[in-house]
Amino acid sequence: MSVATETTPNATAGETYRVIVLDDLAQEGLDKLDAASGIQYDIRTGLAGAELREALAGYDGAVCRSGVKITAESLEGNSQLKAIVRAGVGTDNIDKVAAARLGIVVMNTPAGNTISTAEHTMALLLGLSRKVAPAHASLKAGKWDRKKFKGSEVYGKKLGVVGLGRIGQEVASRAAAFGMEVIGYDPFLTRERAEAIGVRKVEQVSEMLPEIDYLTVHTPLTPETEGLISTEQVKLLKKGARLVNCARGGIYDEAALVAGLESGHLGGVALDVYPNEPCTDSPLFQMDNVLCTPHLGASTEEAQVGVAVEAVDLLVNYLQTGEIQSAVNTSVDPSALKSVKGYADVAYRLGMLLGQWHGGAIDKCELGFNGDIAEKDTRILVSAFCAGLVENFTDEANIINAELLCRERGIEFTRTENPLPGTFSSQIVAQVSGDGNTCSASGTVFGKNMPRLIKLGDYRTEAYMDGNLLVFHHQDIPGIIGYVGNVLAEEKVNIAQMAVGRQGPEAGGKAVGVLNLDSEASEKALSRVTENSAIDSARLIRLPRAGDLPDWLM
C-alpha cells in the first residue's frame, strides 16, 4: 500500500481539529472534510507499528476502512485522539476496548454497504454455481469447452444463512427471488421476524447443515463465530454443498475447506474475505471449484461514496458538537443522556462522593433507581456514576470509558429499577462496598438541575451536592453546629449552605451534618472539629460546584 500525505488548504491554525485519513477514502468523503470548517486533515495510508502510534498521537479524529490495524499498541499513551470512525461495518481492525479505555469513541457506518455486499454474495453464489470464472479464463485461453463448465441451478435449492442482520436479510430476500428456500440461524432473530422475511429459523447451525445446498455467513467475527464451520461441521454438510463467505475471514476454518474440497465432499467455496488480509497466498487459490475476490463486498461506487460521506459526517459532527452516533464501543446514547441530564449529574456526584467516603478498594456497587427515573435508560446513569467513582483515581475518566475502567478494577455492578415513587418522585440509591466497608447515599434532583443528597448512610438529610462538603457525624445535642461554625470561622472557612439529618425522629441520638464550604477545610480544621467529644468524625468531600458539569454532560 502506498503512503501519501496531503493537507487541506483551508485549515486555520488555532481553531482546528486535526483528522487523519488512514485508508483510501472516496473523494466525496475528502470533499466533505475540505468543506468542514475548523477541520484540517492529512491522508496517511499504509501506516503500522510505531509510525502509526506516533501519527495517531497528533490527531483529534481518524477515519479508516479495514486496511489499517489500530491495535492497543498503536493507541498506547494517546491523549489526543477523540474518535475513530470506520467507513464501513466491520470494526475488527480496531481495538475497541483499548480505545474505550482511553475515552476514544469508535463509530461505524453500518448500513452504507449492505446492498453492495448482499449483491456481491449473490454474485459469488451464482458465479460459483455456473463456474463463471474458470469458463471465462478458459475462453480467454482460446478454448471453447461447453462440457467442462456445466453448472447447477440455484432455483429450488436450500440456502442456509447464518447471521440475519442487515446483509443476511438482504441476501435472504434475493435468494428467495431466485426461488431458493432459505433456512436461517441467528440467535437474536425472533421467529416472527424470520417468518416475516420468509426464512425458516433453526435453533442451531448444525440443524441446517445436513439439508442445505448452499451456506452463506453474515455474522461479525467474534470468539463465537471464529471457526463456526470447521471439520466437524463440514462433515455434517450434505455432499456437494457450496459455501460462500462475504463476512469475515476465519468464520470458515480454511484447513477444513481445503480438506472438504480435496475429498470432494464440498461442491465449491467462494470467498471474499480471509483471516489475514491482504491475502495473496492461500492453498484455496490453486484449487478447482473455488471462486475468490479480494474483499470486494463493499467495493462499489455507491457503497464507497456512501460510507465515506457518512463517516466524515459522523466524525466532524462529533468533534464539533460532541454528539455520538453509531458508536460501537460505548452504550451511551447522547440523546438518552440529554434526557436524564439532571440525574446523570446526581449519579456522577454520588459516584464521587461514595468513592471518597469509602476511601478504600471498592469491589461492588449496587445502584437502585426509584420512581419516574426507573422508566428511563438507567444504564447511562450507571455509566455516569462510574465516571464519578473513577474520577477519584484517574483524570482520564469520561462517560465512555468509566464503566470499563471500573470493571477492569474488578468492580461489579447491580442495577435495580422500581418505578413506584417514594418520598421523592425519583431517586437514585447507591451503595458501594469493599475491604469490609459499606457506604451508601441517595440523591435526587430539585427543580431541573439542583442535585440534592437526600440520604447519607442511615441519615435522612437534604443537602446540596455542591463544591466542598464537610460531613461530620455527631451526637444530636445543642451546641454542635455552633461549635463547628466557630472552628471554621477561626480557620477562615466560610460556610455557604448547611443541612443536618437525624437517624430517627427523636433528638438526642446520632446525627449527620453536611456543610458546603466556600473553600477547602484544612486537615488542622478537620481535626479541630473532632476535638469535640460529641463529634465522631469529620471529613471533607470534594465535589464540583453545582452547575459545573463534566465535558461529557455539557
Residues designated as active site: 248, 277, 295
For residue 128, state whether it binds ligand NAD (rule: CB under 6 A). Answer: no
Q: Residues in contact with ligand NAD, total (CB under 6 A)?
A: 31
| Burial class of residue 49 (count of CB atoms within 10 Å of its CB; 0-12, 13-18, 19+) | exposed
| Burial class of residue 140 (count of CB atoms within 10 Å of its CB; 0-12, 13-18, 19+) | exposed
Report the site for ligand MLT in 102-121 (rule: CB under 6 A): 113
Instruction: Check if the beta carbon of residue 383 is closer than 8 Å to that of residue 332.
Output: yes
The nearer residue to ligand MLT, 62 or 543, going by C-beta atoms, is 62
Q: Residues in contact with ligand MLT, total (CB under 6 A)?
A: 8
The nearer residue to ligand NAD, 44 or 248, going by C-beta atoms, is 248
Instruction: Check if the beta carbon of residue 43 is closer than 8 Å to that of residue 30.
Output: yes
Tell me how far apart the alpha carbons of residues 380 and 496 are, in angstroms, rounded to a whole number: 31
Report the site for ligand NAD in 266-285 (rule: CB under 6 A): 272-273
Which residue has the closest beta carbon to ligand MLT? 88
Which residue has the closest beta carbon to ligand NAD? 165
Instruction: Check if the beta carbon of residue 101 is closer than 8 Å to that of residue 80.
Output: no
For residue 373, state whether it binds ligand MLT (rule: CB under 6 A). Answer: no
The nearer residue to ligand NAD, 227 or 457, going by C-beta atoms, is 227
Tell me how far apart the alpha carbons of residues 80 and 91 are, in angstroms, rounded to a whole number: 21
The nearer residue to ligand NAD, 99 or 353, going by C-beta atoms, is 99
The nearer residue to ligand NAD, 95 or 272, going by C-beta atoms, is 272
For residue 203, state whether it binds ligand NAD (rule: CB under 6 A). Answer: no
CB neighbour list of residue 8: distance below 8 Å, 6 or more residues apart:
33, 34, 39, 40, 41
For residue 89, state whether it binds ligand MLT (rule: CB under 6 A). Answer: yes
For residue 246, state whether it binds ligand NAD (rule: CB under 6 A). Answer: yes
Ranges of beta strands (E only) in 39-176 are 39-43, 61-64, 83-86, 105-108, 158-162
For residue 115, state whether it binds ligand NAD (rule: CB under 6 A). Answer: no
Report the site for ligand NAD in 54-93 (rule: CB under 6 A): 89-90
For residue 298, state whether it binds ligand MLT (rule: CB under 6 A). Answer: yes
Rg, Å, the chain Cα set? 30
For residue 295, state whether it binds ligand NAD (rule: CB under 6 A). Answer: yes
The nearer residue to ligand MLT, 113 or 442, going by C-beta atoms, is 113
For residue 90, state whether it binds ligand MLT (rule: CB under 6 A). Answer: yes
> Which range in 85-93, 150-158, 368-376, 421-429 contacts ligand MLT by CB under 6 A?
85-93
For residue 243, state whether it binds ligand NAD (rule: CB under 6 A). Answer: no
For residue 388, state whether it binds ligand MLT (rule: CB under 6 A). Answer: no
Whether the bond into 294 is cis, omega within 30 of 0: no
CB neighbour list of residue 74: distance below 8 Å, 6 or more residues apart:
48, 49, 52, 53, 56
- CA contacts within 13 A on the Cβ side of 31: 6
Strand 412-418 relative to strand 364-371, pairing: parallel
Binding pattern to ligand MLT, positions 30-69, x when CB under 6 A?
-----------------------------------xx---
Instruction: Check if the beta carbon of residue 464 is closer than 8 Å to that of residue 516.
Output: yes
Helix or strand (DSSP H, E) at 380: helix 378-391
CA-to-CA separations, 9 to 15, 25, 39, 194, 335, in angstroms, rounded: 14, 18, 10, 51, 34
Question: Where along the sequence are the contacts to ligand NAD (CB under 6 A)?
Answer: 89-90, 110, 113-114, 117, 162-168, 185-188, 218-220, 222, 224-225, 246-248, 272-273, 295, 297-298
Question: Where along the sequence are the contacts to ligand MLT (CB under 6 A)?
Answer: 65-66, 88-90, 113, 297-298
